[in-house]
Structure 1
Amino acid sequence: MLNTLKGVPTRTFILVVTALLIIGGNCYIFTELGKEVLENEKFMIDRHAADFAENLATPLVMNFFAWITELGSIWALTGGSLILVSVLYFYKREKWRIVSFVIAMGGVTILISRLKAAFSRDRPNILEEYDGTGYSFPSGHSTASIVFYGFIMYLVIRSKLNALAKWLINIFLGILILLISFSRLPLGVHYFTDVMGGLALGLTWLVSCIAILEITLWLSGKKTKKEL
């Protein structure tokens, strides 16, 4: 065991440990929220968040969030996923990253549908124009967006771009994830705890996929060196 660990790069080891901490923390948050949702508990934070969002809901703000929320819709993320896979295949030929991304997006789609059915939480409002149909917990926009845009953030970090470009792109993507998630509140189709649950679930799944990918890349690189 110790001999195996000696061959693990420090970066990979730190990544795995950090991943385990993130996964554990977010699993706890999601589990605790899920328990309360199953017991039909009313969250005070939902009421305060709804009041805050309602105070922001001017026509201009509503139009902005109606546009932002579309960036987390199934059609936007499906189209974006096809484009990203095409780029990775034709430009980079990165087999394992393509496989990991497909698993990440396919897996999160299944997770969202199964968990929504399991918790069966009614939405605050049914609004089809904002994809506000079906059950509420966890927020699909929040969950899927953090997996999709978060995976792009990972690819940016692992790219050969300079440090400034990486920071600027990832700050933009991080803000976009938060805006998409928050947009569900003023549009009135989710509770704040739906969004929290979605972000916790999405981050857990994203980090799990990336950690497995990094380990796979390390093992495949190690195998290639042995063959040489």
Structure 2
Amino acid sequence: MNLIIDLFNHYGYLVLLISLTLELIAFPLPGEALMTYCGYIVYTNKMNWTVSILVAASGAITGITISYLIGKILGVGFFEKYGHFVHLDKKRIEKISIWFQSYGSKLLIIAYFIPGVRHVTGYFSGITNISYRKFSVYAYSGALVWTFTFISLGKVLGANWEKYHSLMTRYLVIAGLITAAIIIIIYFYRNYKQKILEWLISTLQNSIRIFNSLGKIKILFAGIAATFLVFSVLVIGIIQDYLANEFGQFDEVIKYLVTHIFDESWMYFMRIFNSLSNNYALLVVILLTMLWISIKGSNKLYEIRFLIISYLGAEGLGILLKNVFHRLGPSGIIYTFPSNEVLISIVIYGFMVYLIIKQSKKTWIKTIITVAYFILCFFVGLSFVYFNIQYPSDIAAGFEFGMVWLSLSIILLEIYRILPKLRN
């Protein structure tokens, strides 16, 4: 790394271009560290931010395009025989081939953030005969996002780039894996929705035959959901000491970034987003959701009932978690782990969004509403960090537990919606 930095200090853009080209061909070079260092040089005004991103993206695009063409021309047989020279042995080829065939090219965007994966995605795109048009859309977009992220990160970190780089890289890898998991879940849902529904109906029919009572079945599934939730809380409680150390590092890095990215000019917007999580705003959302259900709902009684249960359950879950963890917030007066405001916002806004997209038939409308929902929740959480009311780890935990409770609520709603039809 020191040698590359020395070369970078003398030849700047040229080293950035060549290094990222070689890394995406599968040479073991520290591309992320180099881009973060480049961001630091931008911070010192010795390089241009826009030009650096364009040069870095060009290098990544060149490298992944070369690997794509090599994979397309040489095919599977060649790499099974000689692939170990570029970290592509037969076992890895088989695993990643299944990964590509199952989840498609959309994960090319996320793959850049996962070490060991970005180096071979170009080859596998060619080996699996993904069309160049599809490959270029996702691979080139990913290259731009990847280079923008790390160069901008280095610029924001400034003189602390070396101190925080490894931690931020680690958190970005985790975020990339979580995003990839979400994409995989969405992929499975879209492509195997009918099979999942058939399996669910079969399971429910078997349950009806065994218990011969809808009431008992409802209690059974509610018990399973509650057991899963309690188990999750207990597991995190058991590893609390380890998490406390992780949270300290995470909070330090994120608070540093927030204070350097969002200055006083953001205060008005942060106040707006912060207000969207108070009880009055959430009450309005609940009333609007009830109005939507009364007009568009396919099963009004169940949907209103589960909306109320979701809200009350989120409140109760927040209280339970605070008493499990006993973690004081920045004020040192009240418990803030996890963020109750974020947890409830995730659930209430999410339940409303779910009902809306369930009725919508146009994919682009569903996409816009879903993206808007996550942006809203992100800035709601960010506002609490901005005003130093809660720690970043409080917000992250609020997101996690909120999504778990929202998912369980929606799953139970759909199960309870199906049961009477099966009984009849």
Classify the TM-score, shorter chain: 0.7 to 0.9
Q: 1:72 to 1:33 in 2, by over 3 A?
A: farther
Quote the offset at 1:192 in angstroms. 1.4
Question: 1:101 matched to which residue of 2?
Answer: 307
CA distance in 1, matches of 2:408, 2:306: 10
- Name which structure has the greater RCO, CA cutoff 8 Å, separation 6+: 1
CA distance in 2, matches of 1:43, 1:141: 21
Q: Is the 8 A contact 1:108 1:202 kept in 2?
A: yes
Match of 2:250, SS state, is helix
Match of 1:158, SS state, is helix
Letter in 1 for 2:270: F
Could you tell me the TM-score, scaled by structure 1's length?
Answer: 0.77
Q: 1:40 to 1:166 in 2, by over 3 A?
A: closer
Question: 2:413 matched to which residue of 1?
Answer: 213
Question: 2:275 matched to which residue of 1?
Answer: 70
* Pick aligned residue for 2:401 from 201, 204, 217: 201
> Could you tell which deviates more after superposition, 52-61 or 140-149?
52-61
Kindly name which structure, 1 or 2, has the bigger radius of gyration based on alpha carbons: 2
Residue 263 (structure 2) pairs with residue 58 (structure 1): yes
CA distance in 2, matches of 1:189, 1:198: 14
CA distance in 1, matches of 2:395, 2:255: 12
Question: 2:344 matched to which residue of 1?
Answer: 144
The 5-angstrom pairing of residues 1-228 of structure 1 reads 10-12=195-197, 31-32=235-236, 35-36=239-240, 41=245, 43-89=248-294, 92=297, 94-125=300-331, 134-223=334-423, 226=424
CA distance in 1, matches of 2:199, 2:269: 39
Match of 1:134, SS state, is coil
Q: 1:207 to 1:39 in 2, by over 3 A?
A: closer
Q: Is the 8 A contact 1:156 1:170 kept in 2?
A: no
Match of 2:389, SS state, is coil
**5+ residue gaps in structure 1?**
1-7, 127-132
C-alpha root-mean-square deviation of aligned residues, in Å? 3.2
Letter in 1 for 2:362: N
CA distance in 1, matches of 2:362, 2:262: 39
Question: 2:144 matched to which residue of 1?
Answer: none
* Per-residue CA distance 1:78-104 (angstroms, 9 max, x = gap): 221123223323553611111111100
Q: Is the 8 A contact 2:353 2:370 kept in 1?
A: yes
CA distance in 1, matches of 2:234, 2:330: 20
CA distance in 1, matches of 2:388, 2:199: 40
CA distance in 1, matches of 2:198, 2:403: 19
Quote the offset at 1:37 in angstroms. 6.3
Quote the offset at 1:9 in angstroms. 5.1
Could you tell me the TM-score, scaled by structure 2's length?
Answer: 0.43
Q: Is the 8 A contact 1:72 1:145 kept in 2?
A: yes
